[in-house]
Amino acid sequence: MKTRAAVAFEAKRPLEIVEVDLEGPRAGEVLVEIKATGICHTDAYTLDGLDSEGIFPSILGHEGAGVVVEVGPGVTSVAVGDHVIPLYTPECRQCKSCLSRKTNLCTAIRATQGKGLMPDGTSRFSYKGQAIAHYMGCSTFSNFTVLPEIAVAKIRKDAPFDKACYVGCGVTTGVGAVVNTAKVEPGANCVVFGLGGIGLNVIQGLKMVGADMIVGVDINPSKEEWGRRFGMTHFVNPTDVPDVVAHLVEMTGGGADYTFDCTGNTVVMRQALEACHRGWGESVIIGVAEASKEIATRPFQLVTGRVWRGSAFGGARGRTDTPKVVDWYMDGKIEIDPMITHTLPLERINEAFDLMHAGESIRSVVVF
């Protein structure tokens, strides 16, 4: 079939909206009509050529929601008409990682996914006879996409696509980092670095679990109002203080119980670790750093009890947990609507990247 898609032909070039060829689902795969997709900073990072796994040409996008329109042979867990969220972190429930119960990082198809291919080692997308790579196993910047059955979460049918898509990455990543990864307890003092589409979801997760101080840190002063809107109790602009770590340690009475990096900046990651309380403070890295960047700190920071951790997709088990996050939204436990600052047609998808880089959006959503 033909489908409209925004194709990343080259790094650092705007996406081009073209009609591409899409092969139907093979065994264990489903064809999904994408109804809406968010634009996450990770898409921008790959398009900007900063991803060591970046492949061109490819169809980016990993934060979508849509409807199953065809299933391949052997598919049993979803059916035509089901509403689904594509999962860049699938859940096969059979691999060593899934069975360990220690991680959400299913390894069943990670190797081919990282190469922009379906699990059988081929691509379903092509343009003028040339293969186009899939992205993060999702490629939601296409009106139709093919996904492995283990990489779709079935969600309730009354959830609006243009909001539920955000659960496919940003919402689950932020709220999940609090609930699943850090397991923040009520009364904790927390610091969130970077108040964008991820950081604001960390903040609403912290509010939900009853954190005490929720300190937001951002170099963009307009983010103060956004943070307060979702439960932030204090704001620090690092450019206003001589030493942001010393300032945060003082504010939190010796350091935070939990800090979260939602910037992807390795200097900020160090600050987030060092703003933790001696003896027990835990820092969770959510931000994705550009290829070749490394983190550093004095080992003494760890010797004296601070803990450095990371979180991918908020530690959520895709097929099991994502529908629950949609329920939280539908039941009013978490908010999504106000964070979606821009809704655009596919033709204007490049504007979404401009708005993100200018710090003018929280989340832009493309509706098909």
User: Residue 65 in contact with residue 155, Cβ under 8 Å?
Assistant: yes
320 three-class SS? helix
Active-site hit among 41, 83, 134, 270: 41
Q: Which does 51 bind (CB under 5 to 8 A by kind): Zn ion, ligand NAD, ligand AHE, none?
A: ligand AHE
Binding mask 146-175 for ligand AHE (x = CB under 6 A): -----------------------x------
Which run of H or of E encompasses 273?
helix 266-274
195 forms part of the interface with ligand NAD (CB under 6 A): yes
Q: Which of 15, 20, 22, 169 binds Zn ion (CB under 5 A)?
A: 169
Residues 148 to 177 in contact with ligand NAD, rule: CB under 6 A: 169, 173
Q: Bridge-partner residues for 6, per DSSP?
A: 17
Place of tokens 């039941």: 331
Relative to beta strand 258-261, strand 282-285 is: parallel
Q: Which of 197, 218, 203, 199 lies closest to 361 in space, CA to CA? A: 197
Active-site hit among 63, 91, 282, 335: 63
Token reading at 218: 């951002």
Query: Within 89-239, where are the H helices?
Result: 96-100, 110-114, 161-164, 170-176, 199-209, 223-229
DSSP state, 32? E
Count of C-beta atoms within a 10 Å radius of residue 120 = 13
Active-site hit among 3, 29, 37, 42: 42
Place of tokens 């900046």: 265
Active-site hit among 92, 138, 165, 276: 92
313 forms part of the interface with ligand AHE (CB under 6 A): yes
- Is 95 catalytic? The answer is yes
Long-range Cβ contacts of 112-117 (<8 Å, 24+ apart): 113/88, 113/137, 114/53, 115/55, 116/55, 116/58
Q: Which does 93 bind (CB under 5 to 8 A by kind): ligand NAD, Zn ion, ligand AHE, none?
A: none
Q: Which of 289, 250, 297, 251 lies closest to 272 in space, CA to CA? A: 297
Active-site hit among 29, 37, 89, 106: 106
135 forms part of the interface with ligand NAD (CB under 6 A): no
C-alpha 341/C-alpha 362 separation (Å) is 6
Shortest separation between residue 28's beta carbon and ligand AHE, angstroms: 20
User: 195 vs 211, which CB is nearer to ligand AHE?
Assistant: 195
Q: Which does 25 bind (CB under 5 to 8 A by kind): Zn ion, ligand AHE, ligand NAD, none?
A: none
53 forms part of the interface with ligand AHE (CB under 6 A): yes
Q: Which residues bind to ligand AHE, rule: CB under 6 A?
A: 40, 42, 51-53, 89, 105, 110, 169, 288, 312-313
The site for ligand NAD (CB under 6 A) is made up of: 40-42, 45, 169, 173, 193-199, 217-220, 223, 238, 262-265, 268, 286-288, 311-313, 356, 359
Which residues are known catalytic residues? Answer: 40-42, 62-63, 92, 95, 98, 106, 110, 169, 363
